[in-house]
């Protein structure tokens, strides 16, 4: 159970083309978001869709695969860990972001 302390598994669709950056060190970083859908029924019996968006980042060889083969709208399964960080925007306001650092990716659509 030690490996389950911070583990996230999601299946969803990419909302936009992945953004891939090559850092000065030569290391690659891929950023993208995926949407996951959940369904429930309200009191009137209507089926309601709840869409959640998740920010994903990937490094190294995983980023290489994403750059070459992953596109907007594609369904993927990802596994990784949850991370949180903060930064200052252009106006000097401190912003907080939660991301999933992807260490495994499975493409579910062509």
pLDDT of residue 109: 76
Rounded to whole angstroms, how far apart are CA atoms 67 and 79?
A: 17
pLDDT tens digits for range 35-63? 999 999 999 999 999 999 999 999 999 99
Q: Provide the b/e sequence for 7-31 (b: ≥16 CB within 10 Å).
A: eeebebbbeeebebeeeeeeebebb
Residue 74 to residues 7, 17, 48, 68, 102, Cα–Cα distance (Å)? 22, 10, 23, 13, 16
pLDDT tens digits for range 60-88? 999 999 999 999 999 999 999 999 999 99
| CATH number, domain 2-107 | 2.40.50.140
Average pLDDT, the chain: 94
Q: Which pTM was predicted? A: 0.84
């Amino acid at each position: 159970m030690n490996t389950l302390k911070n583990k996230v598994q999601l299946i969803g669709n990419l909302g936009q083309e992945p953004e891939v950056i090559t850092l000065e060190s030569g290391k690659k970083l891929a950023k993208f978001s995926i949407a996951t859908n959940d369904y429930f029924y309200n009191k009137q019996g209507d089926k309601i869709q709840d869409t959640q968006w998740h920010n994903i980042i990937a490094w190294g060889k995983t980023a290489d695969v994403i750059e070459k083969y992953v596109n907007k709208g594609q369904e993927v399964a990802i596994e990784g860990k949850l991370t949180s960080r903060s930064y200052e925007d252009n106006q000097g306001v401190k912003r907080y972001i939660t991301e999933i650092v992807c260490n495994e990716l499975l493409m579910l659509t062509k």
